[in-house]
Structure 1
Amino acid sequence: MSDKLAIRQHAVKKACDSYNDLMDEVIRLSDVLEAVGNGIARPTGLSVARYQVLAAVEAEAAPVVTIASQLGHTRQSVQRVADLLVDDGLACYRPNPAHQRAKLLEATPSGHTALHRMQAAYEDLALRTTDGLDLERLELARQTLIELRHRLRSELT
């Protein structure tokens, strides 16, 4: 085997190993984020899923299909969460002038209160977990994840 081929094979293996290691860490981080998020959400009457849906309508009411698209979730999963928010009085449905059947989901005053409590808890969490971290490295990590997300999304077409 030529030296060039051996060097190329080593580089390919190293890239694959680095990619796999990063994806493993992203999955582990996602699991921890969900657990910690649900822990800090519990006192607010929310969960991470409820928070995401409620935050999507914080400023403006929207149909469930639009919220699902923004969050990258299925309409059915967002519909289920939206219905739970409505059942708990944190959101309500109102008529949609643009579409008779696709009602608009809107946060209620109780929903806004829960959302603001959750946002304050997340800010505290962010301050605790970023204390002492180099913010430039944190931004570089964010940009790298964005680039990987775009590249992976292009694989879906």
Structure 2
Amino acid sequence: MESTQNGEVFTSIVLEVFKLSGLLVVEGDRLTKETGLTSARWKVLGALFLADQPMTVAKIAKTMGQTRQGVQRIADDMANVGIVEYRDNPHHKRAKYVMLTEKGEKTYKKLVDIQVPWAEEKSSGIDLEKMRTTLQTLQLMVKKFDT
């Protein structure tokens, strides 16, 4: 099968997203260093903080586009240092809820204080409408894989 311009551009976007993802992990690890976290833990922390309902490991993994096993390992590590705790889930005997502790909430808020100026700096000079278009395009691409 011969590739179309759509397929070629799509592939180029995917490659740039892979590159950006790697750069964001490195940058996230740098930003979280003083809190003792990693960018992977920050992602779990953010998913929990922004959720409007209690979440299980499986729900966190689906929200983040990660494997359940990977999120389980991260959640267990975070529970060991008191950032999250497991609570009984009345809807499922084995799938416990992962809940932020007070320490977890404070840590997340500290990370927001670090992230906001960083985002302002990194977005400086990029046209707002182009960023909005990029966001919408990435959201459409995510839907293609999420269904």
Relative to the length of structure 1, the TM-score reads 0.81
**Cα offset, 1:18, TM superposition:** 2.7
1:108 shift after superposition: 0.8
Extract unaligned runs of 5+ from structure 1: 1-8
Closer, same or farther in 2 for the Cα pair 1:62/1:153, shift >3 Å? closer
Aligned match for 2:12, one of 11, 14, 21: 21
Report the Cα distance in structure 2 between the residues aligned to 1:125 and 1:152, rounded to whole angstroms. Answer: 29
Partner residue, 1:56: 47
Deviations 1:98-134 (A, max 9, x none): 2222221111111111111112222111100111211
SS of 2:86's equivalent? strand
The one-letter code sitting in structure 1 at the alignment partner of 2:12 is: D
- The answer to whether residue 104 in structure 2 is matched with residue 106 in structure 1 is no
What is the SS of the residue equivalent to 1:94? strand
1:48-94 alpha-carbon deviations (Å, 9 max, x no partner): 21112122222543221221222222221111110000001111112
C-alpha separation between the residues in 2 aligned to 1:23 and 1:47? 24
SS in 2 for 1:100: strand
Poorly superposed stretches of 4+, deviation over 6 Å: none
Distance in 2 separating the partners of 1:149 and 1:61:
23
Unaligned runs of 5+ in 2: none
| SS state at 1:73 partner | coil
TM-score, L = length of structure 2: 0.86
Whole-angstrom CA distance in 2 between matches of 1:122 and 1:77? 24
How far apart in 2 are the matches of 1:112 and 1:138?
29
Answer yes or no: is the 8 Å Cα contact 1:46–1:114 preserved in 2: no
Tell me, in whole angstroms, the C-alpha distance in 2 between the residues paired with 1:72 and 1:128. Answer: 27
Shift in CA distance, 48/104, structure 1 to aligned 2, threshold 3 Å: same
